[in-house]
Chain A
Amino acid sequence: MSPTGEGEENTVARAEPMRLTLQVNGTVHDVIAEPSDTLLDVLHDRLGLGEVRYGCGEGVCGTCTVLLDGEPVSACLMLALQAEGRELTTLSGLVALGGEPGAEMHPLQECFLEEGALQCGFCTPGLVLAAYSLVERVGGEPSEEEIRYELVGNLCRCTGYTKVVQAVRRYAGSKAGPK
């Protein structure tokens, strides 16, 4: 199944590297990518964003979750070329979207810490981004059922979901302000 050979005469169908511009966490990056490079490959291996993680390559586990124009997508199921011209946010960019000036982390991340909503931490970036997007979209306090429905695609194997749901509720509650 070598890619070379039969495609030779057909210049259009050759897998040529392409130059693309990615906007990630407010910074513009110029990258050379092959068509087969997934967004995950480029973010993790090329741009060094360790928080975007390979977990399954099927879009099932959620460890490669990033925000594409504010909504969660699986970076393993998008080609890097498809992200051109879009706004990408990974976990390390979240603090810029709502943290206090100079803060180390976003208030939602603080809530994960305070509730102890993690153990190994491998799933945490995906869970935080998915939860952030939900609260932004709902614009108020999502119900427990809504939170669980939204997070269904972000698997956690260490700590279950009890504390994660608590953390998201705490954040949404604090964002909505005192009642």
Chain B
Amino acid sequence: MVAVPFAYRRAESFEEAVSLLAEHGEDAKLLAGGQSLVAMMNLRLARPTLLVDLNPIGSPPPSVVGGQVRIPALTRHKTLADPRASFGAPLLSVAARHVGNVRVRARGTIGGSLAHADPTAELAAACLALGGTVSVLGPGGTRELLVDELLVPYSTTALEPDEVITGVTVPVHVAGRTGFGFHEMVRRSSDLAIVAVAAHVELAEAGGTIATARVAVAGVGERVVLAPAELTEGLRGMPAGEADAEGLGRALAAGLRPSGDVHASGEYRRRLVSVLTRRALGDALGRTPTREVAA
């Protein structure tokens, strides 16, 4: 099978992309890394009439401003996953190392991944756990959305048809103050997650009590989800050593009703949520890791 014919335009700026989207409506699609979109087009599962190629816009490297890491939307996964990279968000690095294969990481972008909103996406889980936000440009200007607000069920987003994600912002990692964990179960190396859990903990001060804790889970339904606040807020004010990661994992799993597919049943996924949450949150609470990921 080959793609249904379409027209192609290069955007030299996000503004130009937005105006092309505004002009062509819902049949136009943005092309970032293309690692999901082009595959779907090859299989005729997606049939845009116009592709607006964002790649000419290019991407400056991630930067740290005022305690926040700002990651341009067209940042490739390989940039995040690079073991030598230190741009201040190691949880994103760990998650990016789990994304696809070397070719997917060479082309895929964080903005494209969030816009594609796959319910098994590792990067979305990491962004959610970090409490990240996205900057979105539309005809009326820029707006900021929590990643949690961006993602809506069934592989869609809160983006309007003429909006584009221009960047992602997450808090900077502070050794001794913030901790993270990422655990994933796949049926085969490099594949989409059966379940992935990202956890992020911030202490009020080094060695102090928990200020915030977030857990995000991929692979359990229609979108990547954040553990309900009533579960994670219970950890606030607690010394890290006393937090009950296992209990939280169980409670989180109990509240989810993941569906099954050819790779795993919903019930099995629920058990994984419990186990992987304990492991990820345990990592986040126990240390401020900088470990390399065994893929």
Contacts and interface: CB of A to CB of B under 8 A. Distances in A.
In the complex, A touching B, CB below 8 Å? yes
Interface of A: 1, 3, 7, 10, 12-16, 18, 34-36, 38, 41, 57-59, 62, 65, 68, 71-74, 76-79, 81-82, 130, 133-134, 145, 149-150, 152-154
B106 interface: yes
Given A13-B27, A81-B8, A152-B190, 8 more contacts: A3-B49, A12-B9, A35-B6, A57-B42, A58-B42, A134-B102, A152-B102, A153-B190
Interface string B30-50: 010011001101110001011
A161 to B, nearest CB: 11
A136 B113 CA distance: 28
A7 to B, nearest CB: 6
25 contacts: A1-B47, A3-B49, A10-B24, A13-B49, A15-B5, A35-B7, A35-B8, A35-B51, A58-B42, A59-B38, A62-B101, A71-B102, A72-B106, A76-B38, A77-B35, A78-B107, A79-B51, A81-B8, A81-B53, A82-B55, A133-B102, A145-B294, A152-B101, A152-B189, A154-B101
A153 B101 contact: yes
B17 to A, nearest CB: 14
Given A59-B35, A149-B295, A3 B4 contact: yes
B1 A3 contact: no
A69 B282 CA distance: 41
A12 B43 CA distance: 24
Contacts of B39: 57-59, 76-77
B14 to A, nearest CB: 18
Contacts of A7: 7, 49
Nearest to B37: A77
A171 B28 CA distance: 46
Contacts of A10: 24
Nearest to B189: A152
A13 B100 CA distance: 32
A13 B24 contact: yes
A77 B43 contact: no
B3 interface: yes
A153 B42 contact: no
Given A12-B50, A77-B34, A152-B189, A36 B106 contact: no
B6 A15 contact: yes
Contacts of B1: 57
A35 B5 contact: yes
B103 interface: yes
Given A58-B39, A153-B101, A73 B6 contact: no
Nearest to A15: B5
B8 A65 contact: no
B39 to A, nearest CB: 5
Interface string B1-21: 111111111000000000000
The 3 tightest CB contacts between A and B, nearest first, are A153-B101, A35-B8, A15-B5
B104 interface: yes
A76 B102 contact: no
A144 B47 CA distance: 41
Given A12-B9, A152-B189, A152-B190, A36 B4 contact: yes
A78 to B, nearest CB: 7
B42 A13 contact: no
Contact of B100 (A57, A82, A153): A153
B103 A62 contact: yes
B43 A152 contact: no
A153 B189 CA distance: 9
A154 B24 CA distance: 38
A36 B38 CA distance: 10
